[in-house]
Amino acid sequence: MNHFIAPSVLAADFANLQRDIEMVNGSAADWFHVDIMDGVFVPNISFGFPVVEAIRKHAGKPLDVHLMITDPDRYIGAFAKAGASVITVHYEACTHLHRTLAAIKEMGCKAGVALNPHTPVHVLEDIIEDADLVLIMSVNPGFGGQKFIQRTYDKLKALKAMAAGRNDNLLIEVDGGVNISNAGQLISCGANVLVAGNFVFTADDPKAVISEMKEVMPGLMK
Ligand code: DX5
Ligand code: ZN
């Protein structure tokens, strides 16, 4: 399977949001990654429904909504209505994850579960068949532009091994500090969706950067 590129709108220029959305529409990117932060689960607040709806209005590609919020069950219906195609909740924020993933699927969305850097992959052992996507955080969630955590490579390999034969279509997403230098190795280790915020939006030529990431080949395994 070819890998997907999901530019993170968090790093866009919010005063020129439509311009940045059109840039992604006209690029080789596959999804829009949309980061929702509530100031409780993570120490930052990003944006809410009016902004997601505005993105949806102009976006020509699916919205991949990453909920960094406590008690995400309360808002699944609203994010589905706002136009999400993928809804990812944090393992650390869900008491009844199986029920939450089922609720996301009932809304017609792909259901994802995200793991913080400190959360081991093995906690997904009994839910791996029920997720459409697993997001491995390669930074502590809350902010763009942070340094990539090297341990991520081993977590991706462990997840890939766990999913083998049990969920071969699993989307394995990596989020935080992704750039052209680590993309190849991330793909070798099992990632098939790469999120990139600052690396794309601070580039002189964001479309060219997206194309480069889209075409990157698996790197040498460590
Ligand atoms: C971090 C967010 C990321 C962030 C990635 O909490 O979940 O999606 O936007 O930004 P970069 O690529 O700049 O690390
Ligand atoms: Zn994210």
Residues that are catalytic: 35, 175
Instruction: Say if 136 falls within a structural domain.
Output: yes
Instruction: Say if 221 falls within a structural domain.
Output: no
| Cα–Cα distances in angstroms (integers) from residue 119 to residues 33, 114, 136, 137, 147, in the given order | 22, 9, 9, 9, 18
Instruction: Say if 131 falls within a structural domain.
Output: yes
Instruction: Say if 96 falls within a structural domain.
Output: yes
Give residue 99's domain range. Answer: 4-215
pTM check: above 0.90: yes
Which single residue is written with the structure tokens 């991520």?
152
Instruction: Say if 222 falls within a structural domain.
Output: no
- pLDDT, tens digit (0-9, with 9 covering 90-100), for 72-124: 999 999 999 999 999 999 999 999 999 999 999 999 999 999 999 999 999 99
- pLDDT, tens digit (0-9, with 9 covering 90-100), for 66-82: 999 999 999 999 999 99
The reply to whether 184 sits in an annotated binding site is: no
Instruction: Say if 220 falls within a structural domain.
Output: no
Q: Which ligand is nearest to the CA of 37?
A: 1
| Cα–Cα distances in angstroms (integers) from residue 146 to residues 97, 121, 130, 143, 177, in the given order | 28, 22, 30, 7, 6
The mean per-residue pLDDT over the stretch 197-206 comes to 98
User: How many helices and strands (H and E) does the chain possess?
Assistant: 8, 8
- Report the domain count for the chain: 1
Percent of the chain surpassing pLDDT 90: 97
Instruction: Say if 129 falls within a structural domain.
Output: yes
Instruction: Say if 139 falls within a structural domain.
Output: yes
Q: Is the pLDDT reported for residue 2 higher than 90?
A: no
Q: Chain-wide mean pLDDT for the chain?
A: 97
**Confidence band for 221, pLDDT divided at 50, 70 and 90:** low
Whether the Cβ atoms of residue 174 and residue 152 lie closer than 8 Å to each other: yes
Residue to mutate (ligand 1; options 146, 179, 182, 202; most atoms within 8 A of CB): 146
The reply to whether 3 sits in an annotated binding site is: no
Which CATH number fits the domain that encloses residue 180?
3.20.20.70
Decide whether any atom of ligand 1 lies within 6 Å of the 176 Cβ: yes
